[in-house]
Amino acid sequence: MNYTDTDLAIEPHVKTASDYFQDGMLWLVFLAMVSAAGYVLMLDYRHLQYEDRLAGIEDTGEPVPMTPVSPSDQIRPYVPSSRPVGPGRNAPDLSPFGIETDLQEKSAMIFKSDGKGALLGFGTITQGTADVFERALLGREEVITEIVLHSPGGSVQDALTMAQLIRDNDMNTRIVANGYCASSCPLVLAGGIEREVHASAWVGVHQVYTPPNTFGSIQQGMDQAQRISAQCQQALVDYGVDPALWIKAMETPKDQLYVLTVEELEELKLATKVDDAEA
C-alpha cells in the first residue's frame, strides 16, 4: 500500500480553553505542593531553633540570658521561676520599692509601696494573690495611683480579679525597663487606665492550661480552660485591648512564650505608652 504526503500529515493540536485551564490547575497544584513543603521546612527549622534555645535552660530561679525578639523571631522558652535577660542588660531597677538585685520571681507575689502613690506587685501570682492585693490597697494611707508589675504570671483567675480591682480604682499600670510580665501578668497590665511599658521589657503570653495536679477528667479540664479563655478575651475587650492578643496566646504552647514587639504592644493597645528612654 502506498501513502501520499497528505496521508502522512499530522494535524497540529490547537489548545482549547479547557487545555489552558488544565495546565493552570496543574501549575497551581505544583505551586501548592512546593509551598506546603516550604512551610513544613520552616516549621521544622523554627522547632529546631526553639530546641536549641531550650537546651541547657533549667528553671533554677536564676536569670536566663535570651536574645531580644524581632518581628520574625518572637518565641522564647517559658521558665516560670526565672527572668529572661537580654545581653548587656541590667536587672530592672526596683530599688524605689526596696527590692534589690537579688530578685526571686518564683516567690509568691508581694506588694511594696514607694511612698509616692505607686505600688509594686513583684513575684508569681498564686491562688489568693488577688485577696492579698486587695488588702494591700485598703491598708495604706496614701492614695495608690499606679501599679508597677514584675511577674512571670500564674493564677489566671487571680490575675483577672486584680485587673478588675485596678480598673475599678482608676489606677494605671507600668512595666519598668528590663522588667518582666508574662503568662497571666499581661491581663493585670491590661486593667490599667494608662498602661506604660518600657521598650526593653519582656511582655509575653501563652495558652491557658489546667495544672497537672487538678482533680477531674480531661474533658472537665478542657471545659474549664475554655471558660477561662473566654473570660480573658472579654476582659481584654472591656479594657480596650485588641482581643487579637489572645490569638497569639492560644497559638503558643504553655512551655513557650510569645514575646510582644514594641510595635505589637502599641498596635494591640496593650500599652497606651511605650517608653523608649535608654535603660
Sheet holding 75-77, edge to edge: 75-77, 256-259, 202-205, 180-182
CA distance 125 to 151: 7
The CA-CA-CA angle for residues 138, 192, 239, to 5°, reads 120
Q: What is the pLDDT along the chain (279 residues), one digit of tens a residue?
A: 554 554 555 455 566 767 666 767 777 776 767 665 555 455 444 444 444 444 456 666 788 999 999 998 999 999 888 889 988 888 899 999 988 656 689 899 999 999 999 999 999 999 999 999 999 998 788 899 999 999 999 999 999 999 999 999 999 999 999 999 999 999 999 999 999 999 999 999 999 865 555 455 555 656 677 788 899 999 999 999 999 999 999 999 999 999 999 999 999 999 999 999 887
pTM of the shown model: 0.77
**Residue-by-residue DSSP string for 131-160:** HHHHHHHHT-SSPP-EEEEEB--B-HHHHH
Phi-psi map region of 117: left, alpha, beta (phi>0 left; psi -120 to 50 alpha): left
pLDDT at 48: 45
Distance CA 201, CA 223 (A): 33
CA distance 164 to 161: 5
pLDDT confidence of residue 67: 93
